[in-house]
Structure 1
Amino acid sequence: MSQPSYAEHPGATPAVRGTNVMAILSLVFAFVFSPLGIVFGHVAKKQIRQRGEQGDGLATAGLVLSYVFTILGILWIVFVFVVATNSGSTTS
């Protein structure tokens, strides 16, 4: 006996898993506030594994971009600090 197809039951629709919201937020916050993008990305990866949702690629992209932007931000702060501390000392 074969399984009935969805065409035979007009009211039946296949269960489609949506995209994980945290994965979307991870990608968005990578550009807005990258440390929060890291948190959202890790939460999204866990939820995607547990719930079987879509969006693993978005979560990965959000994590990678968030880590890169966070590291660049830290390097920028260190650079500005070093320049600011060295500009005050002049030798004559």
Structure 2
Amino acid sequence: MTDTSYTGSAPAKLNTLSIVAIIGGFLVPLVGIVLGFFALRQIKETGERGHGLAMAGIIVGIALTVIYALIGIIGAVAGAAISSGY
């Protein structure tokens, strides 16, 4: 006879905001940063999974924001240099 009872508990649910944070980190970096912090707070309170995804959303969001800012600064400096004749 086989034992059909299951004594383990179901795995913790994956936090939805952490998924949205990583996607948002690539599409709209500031959204990824903000949602990542909200997701981390929810994960801490509820015990859900997704800590790594939330952190990745924050990190990707910050990295892309810095890259976009540098591109903007370099473009502005290059535009000013070209318009002034250098």
**TM-score (normalised: structure 1):** 0.80
Deviations 1:45-68 (A, max 9, x none): 000001110000111111111111
Corresponding position: 1:23 with 2:18: yes
Q: Deviations over 1:59-85 (max 9, x none)?
A: 111111111111101111111111111
The one of 72, 77, 84 equivalent to 1:77 is 72
Give unpaired runs (5+ residues) of structure 1.
1-6
Structure 2 unmatched ranges of 5 or more = none
* Large movers: runs of 4+ above 4 Å: none
Aligned to 1:90: 85
Deviation at 1:14, TM superposition (A): 2.9
Structural mapping, 1:41-56, within 5 Å: 41-56=36-51
Q: Percent identity at matched positions?
A: 28
Report the count of equivalent residues.
Answer: 84
Tell me if 1:61 matches 2:56: yes
Measured on the aligned residues, the alpha-carbon RMSD in Å equals: 2.1
Structure of greater Rg: 1
Question: Which amino acid in 2 is paired with 1:68?
Answer: A
